[in-house]
Amino acid sequence: MTLASSFALIIAMFVLALTPGPGVFISISAGLQETPKRIAAMISGIITGDILFLMLSIYGLSWVATHLQGAFLFLQYGGAAYLCYMGFIMLKHSNETSIDLAQNGNQASATGRRQLGYMVGLVVTLANPKVIFFYVSFLPNFMDLQSLTALDIFIVIFIIAAVLATSMGFYAWLAYSARHAVVSEAAQKTLNTTSGALILVTGVIFALKTG
């Protein structure tokens, strides 16, 4: 793997990551509601999904996409339904601030509002048609995946992880900073509503693109 191809991959990954889409939406949503640990877990899920697609692309993702279309559709619709459900739960409890939860001892709603962890990041990536297209059609056009050595694969994985952590982390950090700049309960509830709406919209986008 040459230096030029490495830079080309970095640029392509930044374009993929920074283009508004499901990954960006859930990163912003996580920044608006979650703790740094959960944000990191969610981003780790996104990275894991991309690495899985990379490995499948190296070892025959095109064959999988052709022969297991039903499985991909099930995954995409399942991911859409899960995100819509999570968005609904978050909207349902959007009027509850952290103080409300502490006073009411409502652990169930607290759990419902704080599920943007590793699995959500993974599901969003695995069900994202844009990511599938990138690894099935775009990446093989400027990189000979079949000739990559073990060291090359490690470098590609490192680039993917670094770019996604940087870009998704940047969006989450912006939202997290905005959230902590807000002190009024009304504004906090507005941020909660925005966070839930982003997740719900992401699920709807998945469903429409899949359909």
10-residue averages of pLDDT along the chain (211 residues): 83 84 85 85 93 84 58 68 74 60 44 62 83 79 78 92 95 87 67 75 72 56
Query: What's the CA gap between 27 and 42, in Å, rounded?
Result: 8
pLDDT score at 110: 44
Range of the domain at 167: 3-13+21-210
Terminal CA-to-CA distance of the chain, rounded, Å? 38
Q: What are the two backbone dihedrals, phi and then psi, of residue 128, each rounded to the nearest 5 degrees?
A: -85, 115
| Amino acid (1-letter code) at residue 14 | F
Q: What is the DSSP letter of 94?
A: T
Q: Tally the domains of the chain.
A: 1
Percent pLDDT > 70 in the chain is 73
Q: What pLDDT score was predicted for residue 100? A: 47
CA angle in degrees (0–180, nearest 5) for 4-45-161? 20
Q: Burial, 211: exposed, middle or buried (Cβ in 10 Å; 0-12, 13-18, 19+)?
A: exposed
CA distances from 108 to 28, 119, 166 (A): 23, 19, 32
What number of other Cβ atoms are within 10 A of residue 116's Cβ?
Answer: 28
**Could you tell me if 119 and 30 are in contact, meaning their C-beta atoms sit under 8 angstroms apart?**
no
pLDDT at residue 101, as a whole number: 42
- This prediction has a pTM of 0.73
